[in-house]
Amino acid sequence: MKLRKKLLALTALFALGAGSAHAADLSMVLGDTGTGAQFLREVLDKYEKDTGVKVNIVTMPSSTTDQFGQYRLWLAAGNSDIDLYQTDVIWAPQLADQFVDLTAAAKDVVGQHFPSIIESQTVNGKLVALPLFTDAPALYYRKDLLDKYGKQPPKTWDELAATAKEVQDKEREAGQKDLWGFVWQGNAYEGLTCDALEWVKSSGGGQIIEADGSISINNPNAAAAIERAKSWVGTISPPGVLAYQEEESRGVWQTGNAVFMRNWPYAYALGNGEDSSVKGKFEVTTLPFAGDGNQPAATLGGWNVAVSKYSKQQDAAIKLAIYLASPEVQKWRAIEIANLPTIEALYDDADVAKAQPFMPAWKAVFQSAVPRPSAPTKTKYNEVSSKFWTAVHNTLSGNGTAAENLEILEADLEDLKGSGW
Amino acid sequence: MTTVPMSGPSGAAAADLTGRSDLQRQRLRAAWMFLAPMLIALAIVAGWPLVRTIYFSFTNASLNNLSGAEWIGFDNYLQIRTLSSGRVLYRGLLADPAWWAAVWNTIRFAVLSVAFETVFGMIVALVLNANFRGRALVRAAILIPWAIPTIVSAKMWQWMLNDQFGIINEIALNLGLISQKIAWTASPDTAMIAVLIVDVWKTTPFMALLILAGLQMIPGDIYEAAKIDGVHPIKVFWKVTLPLVRPALMVAVIFRMLDALRIFDLIYVLTPNNAQTKTMSVLARENLFDFDKFAYGSAASTMLFLIIAVITIVYVVVGRVNFEGGR
């Protein structure tokens, strides 16, 4: 009798499931820096409450290079376990074939976003991913220390080096033995491409490969920019910076052991957290430039959400993607974890401005944002980037001069380019 | 991608079988039946992927389009192009300096790490072979580094070796061994040393255990005889222990060598992805998955397989000659 009841209930359940929209579980994968995954969990919990759709989060390491390798492997194998991917702004051309075209589904909402960001996610007319947030790095500085020594936030790289050195030396004399002037990302990975592109671009050295596909990196301005960065290592930056990614540099910064830091906006909210030694002691400004009529440059970052072609629940996944990119979630994201919205209107939003006073100023940073050459180099971007960061890392670690390494890089890139990207 | 030297049951059996009796035939059949599951499993998990990797290395396969791979011969390995200007260009893996740098890194790492591990493993094994209270406990405890997954121990050491917060710098600084903090994994001079330290820490227990097994096979009366004759302990080690433990040592070394030649995880996690520490496996993975060069990465994997195979064969052949010469 009992068994029969159970069987009956089970049959009814199946019938229900087949008849109505089946509330299936979705899976989303993302690499996590800081509190991104924790925040997403909150959003997805609310989404589950509102819609009944349960979403599992799969977390990955924070290095974009590591994530990419894994995702490429899963997608090549036609893995249907993951429905949504959080994708880096540079991946769209390389993974376009593996993701669902979101053009039709998002036609009502794309107009809200910065056109340049939508464009970066559009490959041959196909909208590969929807933007979740954008990223442009800034110069973090310790206002308390600069005030103490009567310094202004630096405008040029040379001013930064001089200020960093002076504050570092004086503070060390005063007993702060572990203090360093400037921390950034010098490990040999995608992050170094971002950092070095900023040095080069803000020194009038071009952007490695220009929009038309021509290779511009081998020039004296670019070489000087990289040599300048080399002079920081061991003087104002710890020698270990050559193994730092974002989180290592934030570690030095947030324990109060750095005067300046180059990092993405996520570090702003974390730096003002309860357990931070620098809480309330720092501010952010645009990155320095080389002077002589140059402009600051900030590498355009940002993360997007894409729906896997191999997902068995594409419709549900697309709905979730649109929700995650919506003004509602982007505003929440901006207020809670200081990620920059891709929706222009949110920069004038009073709540956002109140929670993140630095954010409205960021609208200007985007005007100076420089994209990595992922669009012109298409599927070869990763290799281009790897060759570039290798040349820079070699220079920084004393393995050849910048001029020599850039000359070799140019030859390598020409080989790679062949008759066209 | 390791090769297991296997001699089929037929090889050993057939050699001394001139006329087979029913019983012998039956036993042979039974042997094959027992071996079959293992052979089938090996063919599926090792043989098939290997064959496919070798196949892809002769094609222009891309990870986005594996089924559309076209045969291109040896171009991934070596391609010689004569330009219209008469200049001759060499392309492909065998002409790639990055590949040869990776080969050199791998071999240097393998030789150094195995050498250190053998010496330390021998010392640890000799100590553990002695009788003392709590020996069983120590034997179990020493295996802990070996039991920790490499990724976990690499991450752990990464924090310990961190230049700013790392405990190693802290201790060395307090003891006055160094005057300023060393960026262990970042500096090209120390990155390989850091990798070696971690690898030696991790795999010495494995070495020690294999050698210990060899040591316990040595009959105790030989030592008693040596003691009665008043032979110096160091001479006993060189003349008695070492020759007798040698077969076990040779096996332990080849196991470690195979493992060391395909080193990936430790280097990938611990050091920046630069030319100073990049090994064959790291380079192969990078081409396979990060770059759009699946076929090229397959060629690197195939070469890695061949290099390991050649080193193993040479070692086994040379090693066997030595065994016989020593007896």
SS3 state of residue A340: strand
What confidence score (pLDDT) does residue B13 get? 46
Average pLDDT rounded to a whole number, residues B10-14: 47
Q: Is the pLDDT of residue B8 over 60?
A: no
What confidence score (pLDDT) does residue B68 get? 85
Question: Which residues of chain B lie closer than 8 angstroms to A97, CB-CB?
Answer: 64
Q: Which of A68, A188, A239 sits opposite B272 (nearest CB)?
A: A188
Q: Is the pLDDT of residue B104 over 90?
A: yes
CB-based contact B292 A252, cutoff 8 Å: no
What confidence score (pLDDT) does residue A9 get? 54
Domain boundaries, chain A: 2-136+301-369, 138-299+373-418
Interface residues from chain B to A (CB-CB < 8 Å): 62-64, 66, 91, 162-165, 181-188, 271-276, 285-286, 289-293
- Residue A261 CB neighbour total at 10 angstroms: 27
| Same fold: A2-136+301-369 with A138-299+373-418 | yes
What confidence score (pLDDT) does residue B83 get? 77
What confidence score (pLDDT) does residue A6 get? 56
Instruction: Give the β-pairing of A130-135 and A126-127.
Output: unpaired
| Kind and range of the H or E run holding A183 | strand A180-183
Q: Is the pLDDT of residue B78 over 80?
A: yes
d(C-alpha B117, C-alpha A266), whole Å: 44
**If you classify domain B97-293 with CATH, what class do you get?**
mainly alpha
Which residue has tokens 């071009």?
A206
Q: Is the pLDDT of residue A155 over 70?
A: yes
**Residues A193-239: tens digit of each pLDDT:** 999 999 999 999 999 999 889 999 999 999 999 999 999 999 999 99
CB-based contact B292 A383, cutoff 8 Å: yes
Q: Is the pLDDT of residue B102 over 60?
A: yes
**Residues A110-131: tens digit of each pLDDT:** 999 988 889 889 998 899 999 9
What confidence score (pLDDT) does residue A265 get? 86
Task: Indicate the burial class of A6 (C-beta count within 10 angstroms; 0-12, 13-18, 19 or more).
Answer: exposed
Number of cross-chain residue pairs from A and B with Cβ atoms under 8 Å apart: 97
Residues pairing with A84 in the sheet: A28, A307
All residues at 6 or more sequence positions from A222 whose CB lies less than 8 Å from its CB, including other chains = A200, A203, A205, A206, A402, A406
| Angle (CA) B18 B24 B30, round 5° | 135
Q: For chain A, first and last CA: distance in Å?
A: 71
Least confident of A228-237, B18-27, B190-199: B18-27
**Residues B110-127: tens digit of each pLDDT:** 999 999 999 999 999 999
Average pLDDT rounded to a whole number, residues A297-309: 93
Average pLDDT rounded to a whole number, residues A146-169: 95
d(C-alpha B64, C-alpha B45), whole Å: 23
What confidence score (pLDDT) does residue A369 get? 83
Q: What percent of chain A has pLDDT over 70?
A: 94
Average pLDDT rounded to a whole number, residues B30-37: 94
Dihedral sign from CA coordinates of B181, B187, B189, B191? positive
CB-based contact A397 B274, cutoff 8 Å: yes
**Residues B241-296: tens digit of each pLDDT:** 999 998 889 889 988 999 999 999 999 988 888 888 899 999 999 999 888 889 99
| Kind and range of the H or E run holding B1 | none
What chain A residue is nearest to B289 in terms of C-alpha separation? A69
Q: What is the mean pLDDT of chain B?
A: 87
- Inform me whether the C-beta atom of residue A92 falls under 8 Å from chain B C-beta atoms: no
**Band of the pLDDT at B189, cuts 50, 70, 90?**
confident
Task: Give me the interface pTM, i.e. the ipTM.
Answer: 0.77
Q: Is the pLDDT of residue A23 over 70?
A: no
CB-based contact B188 A188, cutoff 8 Å: no
What confidence score (pLDDT) does residue B19 get? 63
Domain A2-136+301-369 annotated CATH 3.40.190.10: yes
CB-based contact A399 B271, cutoff 8 Å: no
What confidence score (pLDDT) does residue A20 get? 40
The pair of three-digit structure tokens given for residue B254, joined into one six-digit string: 């080849």
**Residues B202-252: tens digit of each pLDDT:** 999 999 999 999 999 888 888 889 889 988 989 999 988 999 998 889 889
| Angle (CA) B187 A195 A417, round 5° | 95
What confidence score (pLDDT) does residue B321 get? 46
| Distance set, CA B19 to CA B7, B13, B24, B25 (Å) | 21, 12, 9, 10
Alpha helices, DSSP H only, in chain B? 9-15, 22-42, 48-56, 97-129, 135-141, 144-147, 150-160, 167-174, 188-217, 220-229, 233-236, 242-261, 265-270, 280-285, 294-326
SS3 state of residue A234: coil
Cα A91–chain centre separation = 12
The superfamily (CATH) of domain A138-299+373-418 is: Periplasmic binding protein-like II (3.40.190.10)
Maximum distance among all Cα pairs of chain B, rounded to whole angstroms: 83
Q: What is the pTM (predicted TM-score) of this model?
A: 0.82
Question: Which residues of chain B lie closer than 8 angstroms to A379, CB-CB?
Answer: 62, 64, 292
What confidence score (pLDDT) does residue A69 get? 87
- Inform me whether the C-beta atom of residue A76 falls under 8 Å from chain B C-beta atoms: yes
Greater pLDDT, B84 or A89: A89
- Inform me whether the C-beta atom of residue A240 falls under 8 Å from chain B C-beta atoms: yes
- Inform me whether the C-beta atom of residue A111 falls under 8 Å from chain B C-beta atoms: no
Instruction: Give the β-pairing of A138-142 and A258-263.
Output: antiparallel
CB-based contact A383 B291, cutoff 8 Å: yes
What confidence score (pLDDT) does residue B16 get? 52
